[in-house]
Amino acid sequence: MKSSSAKQLGAATAIVVLVTVVIALNGCSAMRTDSANAARQNEKARHDALIGGRTATRQAESAQPVADDALRRLLSGNSHVSEYRRAVADAKPYFTSYQFFRPDGAYIVRDTYSRRTEGYEAIGKWRVNKNVLCVDETHSTNEPECYTIRVTTKGVIQYWTHKPSDPFHELISLSVSIVRPGLQTPEYITTSAMYGR
């Protein structure tokens, strides 16, 4: 009798161990480290951005390229203002960014959320080489961001990514319809409530 009970107990233990191992192996394969999870999320965000960039490029209004001295004049001493709205019909933007191209080559970015004042603005350098604008933020570890610039008949400035051998090469990245002289101070403050935080 004992041997039958021992066999049943041994079989039950073996089943429990087997089920535990199967659950652990399946669970562990689905789990990721923080860095692996972040890499997966970054890859998804990049994929989504690429789809958005391709869509925006297909819908972009026809525009003429601007190069050399004409491009320098378009940038030098001016702030390119980008307003973002949740819906096209929104009267006011929820977020605004200001890219200032100082004549000496300094590049300053301010916005209405986190970079509102001198201590928080992004600073770097800008340069034009033939038909390509490159901006390099001082504290960025990334390569300079480069663009070709086109202007529509309505005066909208289009930034087209210039990064040969990258999937984003020659996709529209930004459209700017507001150009103001000088370094701009944000006109309002975007609160974190706008971002659902």
- Picking from 94, 100, 101, 64, the residue whose alpha carbon sits closest to that of residue 187 is 94
Per-residue pLDDT tens over the stretch 89-112: 999 998 999 999 999 999 999 998
Instruction: Please tell me the distance from the alpha carbon of residue 171 to that of residue 54, in angstroms, as a whole number.
Output: 6
Instruction: Please tell me the distance from the alpha carbon of residue 126 to that of residue 103, in angstroms, as a whole number.
Output: 9
Q: How confident is the model at residue 168 (pLDDT cuts 50, 70, 90)?
A: confident
Work out the angle at residue 84's Cα, subtended by the Cα atoms of residues 81 and 87, and round it to the nearest 5 degrees. Answer: 145
Q: Which DSSP symbol is given to 45?
A: H
pLDDT value of position 3: 60
* Higher pLDDT, residue 53 or 87: 87
Strand partners, 96: 83
CATH fold group of domain 62-195: Lipocalin (2.40.128)
* Higher pLDDT, residue 41 or 119: 41
- Picking from 69, 79, 66, the residue whose alpha carbon sits closest to that of residue 186 is 79
Q: How confident is the model at residue 76 (pLDDT cuts 50, 70, 90)?
A: very high
Phi, psi dihedral angles at 127 (to 5 degrees): -155, 155
One-letter amino acid for residue 72 of the chain: R
Give the pairing type, strands 106-111 and 95-101. antiparallel
Q: Which of 25-34, 48-57, 74-83, 132-141 has the lowest mean pLDDT?
A: 25-34
pLDDT value of position 132: 98
Give the pairing type, strands 63-66 and 172-176. unpaired
pLDDT value of position 106: 97
Question: How many other C-beta atoms lie within 10 A of the C-beta of residue 113?
Answer: 18
Q: Which DSSP symbol is given to 144?
A: P
Question: How many other C-beta atoms lie within 10 A of the C-beta of residue 176?
Answer: 20
Q: Is the pTM of this model over 0.85?
A: no
Instruction: Please tell me the distance from the alpha carbon of residue 110 to that of residue 73, in angstroms, as a whole number.
Output: 21
What does each C-alpha distance from 125 to 114, 132, 138, 155, 163 come to in angstroms?
20, 14, 7, 25, 18
Per-residue pLDDT tens over the stretch 6-44: 555 566 666 666 666 656 655 554 566 777 777 788 788
Q: Cβ(152)–Cβ(176) under 8 Å?
A: no
